[in-house]
Amino acid sequence: MISNNHLLLIFIFTFIISIYSDELFDLNKKFISTYDHARDYLISITNPLIICNGDNVVIIHRGKRYQEQVIPKLYHDLKSISHMPFKIYLTVMFNLGILSDDNYTELKQYLQDIRSIRNSIQFPTDIQQTQYDIIDLSIEYLETILKTKFIDQTQLNEFCQQARHLFSVNIDLAARAQLDMLDTKIRPWYEERFNDTERNTLKILIMGPKTARYGYIEKTYFYALLGERQEGNHIIYAENIDNEQRALEILGVWLLDAKASASFFSGDSERLHRDVLADAGVAHIKRIFKTSKSEL
Ligand SMILES: *[C@@H]1O[C@H](CO)[C@@H](O)[C@H](O)[C@H]1NC(C)=O
Ligand SMILES: *[C@@H]1O[C@H](CO)[C@@H](O)[C@H](O)[C@H]1NC(C)=O
């Protein structure tokens, strides 16, 4: 009987809470829409703004939008060549031993493809030979495995090692090609077209893949250009987002939280960038584990 009463009480109590929380939930929608407006307004007055998105950089300056290509075709070409040995490796990596019919057909076709590519590639003369070397290594390895119809682990490892030596040259070239073009396009904006005030208020929004967050080449470039040491003041990285509108919203949230944070937490503009509950949470988690230990 006692336990039934107890259940009834819990039931009534939960019921009351849920009525109130529905109203609160609705009221909170007003917070959300006001927040979104404030965020969009902040984005609209951010000047200047540089958005890095794939091959292009968008510069928003004094209400105008400019677009510059910052990744040269050479970068993509070098990448495609370096991916040849990688593609071969990926095809067979889980199928060591006798070459499956699937892989045989696939690689035979691939061999034909890269043979014909070899005849048509055009690179600056000083780097052409490296491209031939990578293709030739791939052709040679493919010919061997198509003949023996066997994937030997040691042979595959050797192929990978040789390929890596060759494409480390390409990686170096690709990084330089990309950075040189980026610098040629960006520096005149930063040093000449932006004034002192604008250099101070500049925001850079980098849209990039999640896995490349650390050491992402464009990010490293902008850190050096601005002499920044950490994300958040001028540079924001939006990971795994390929849609400019979504990325801008992330930037807007970041800016708005910094502004609101300074107002609510006595000038600490970083406070809202951490979970609002973080400090209280850590304190209570400590309490919980202390209690449970002393109960043991
Ligand atoms: C390689 O062979 C395996 C086993 O038949 C198959 O599962 C895999 O899809 C093949 N890969 C390609 C790229 O053909
Ligand atoms: C810099 O440019 C902005 C417009 O973006 C202008 O409002 C500001 O007065 C300029 N500042 C200086 C120091 O020229």
Q: What is the pLDDT of residues 198-234, one digit of tens each?
A: 999 999 999 987 765 566 888 889 999 999 888 888 9
Query: Is the pTM of the predicted complex or chain greater than 0.85?
Result: no
In the chain, which residue ranges form alpha helices assigned H by DSSP?
2-45, 73-92, 101-120, 125-148, 153-188, 196-201, 217-226, 244-264, 278-295
| pLDDT at residue 107, rounded to an integer | 96
| pLDDT at residue 224, rounded to an integer | 93
Compute the distance between CA of residue 243 and CA of residue 192 in angstroms, rounded to an integer. 29
Residue with the nearest Cα to atom 9 of ligand 2?
Answer: 197
- Ligand number nearest to the C-alpha of 89: 1
Contacts of 200 (CB under 8 A, 6+ apart): none
The pLDDT confidence band at residue 110, using thresholds 50, 70 and 90, is very high
Q: Is 95 in the pocket of ligand 1 (CB under 6 A)?
A: yes
- Ligand number nearest to the C-alpha of 195: 2
Average per-residue pLDDT for the chain: 88
Compute the distance between CA of residue 178 and CA of residue 218 in angstroms, rounded to an integer. 9
Instruction: Kindly tell me if the per-residue pLDDT of 186 is higher than 50.
Output: yes
How deeply is 255 buried, as exposed, middle or buried, from its count of CB atoms within 10 A (0-12, 13-18, 19+)?
buried
Compute the distance between CA of residue 21 and CA of residue 26 in angstroms, rounded to an integer. 8
Lowest mean pLDDT: which of 2-11, 194-203, 212-221, 274-283? 2-11
| pLDDT at residue 141, rounded to an integer | 97
Task: Provide, rounded to the nearest whole percent, the portion of the chain with pLDDT above 90.
Answer: 62
| pLDDT at residue 15, rounded to an integer | 60
DSSP, collapsed to helix, strand or coil, labels residue 66 as: strand
Angle between helices 101-120 and 73-92 (to 10 degrees): 160
Q: What is the pLDDT of residues 236-265, one digit of tens each?
A: 988 888 899 999 999 999 999 888 888 888
Mutate to test the pocket of ligand 2, among 198, 201, 203 (most ligand atoms within 8 A of CB): 198
State phi, psi for 267 to the nearest 5 degrees.
85, -5
CA 106 to ligand 1: nearest atom: 14
Averaged pLDDT, 102-129: 94
Residue with tokens 């959300």: 32
Instruction: Kindly tell me if the per-residue pLDDT of 266 is higher than 50.
Output: yes
CA neighbours closer than 13 Å in the CB half-sphere of residue 136: 7
Residue with the nearest Cα to atom 1 of ligand 1?
Answer: 103
Instruction: Kindly tell me if the per-residue pLDDT of 267 is higher than 80.
Output: no
| pLDDT at residue 2, rounded to an integer | 46
Q: What is the pLDDT of residues 124-156, one digit of tens each?
A: 999 999 999 999 999 999 999 999 999 999 999
Rg (CA), the chain: 28
| pLDDT at residue 1, rounded to an integer | 44
Instruction: Kindly tell me if the per-residue pLDDT of 191 is higher than 90.
Output: yes
| pLDDT at residue 5, rounded to an integer | 60
State phi, psi for 47 to the nearest 5 degrees.
-150, 125
Q: Is 200 in the pocket of ligand 2 (CB under 6 A)?
A: no
The pLDDT confidence band at residue 275, using thresholds 50, 70 and 90, is confident
Q: Is 100 in the pocket of ligand 1 (CB under 6 A)?
A: yes
Averaged pLDDT, 36-51: 95
Q: What is the pLDDT of residues 155-168, one digit of tens each?
A: 999 999 999 999 88
Higher pLDDT residue, 296 or 140? 140
| pLDDT at residue 259, rounded to an integer | 86
Residue 156 near residue 164, CB atoms below 8 Å: no
Q: Is 195 in the pocket of ligand 2 (CB under 6 A)?
A: yes
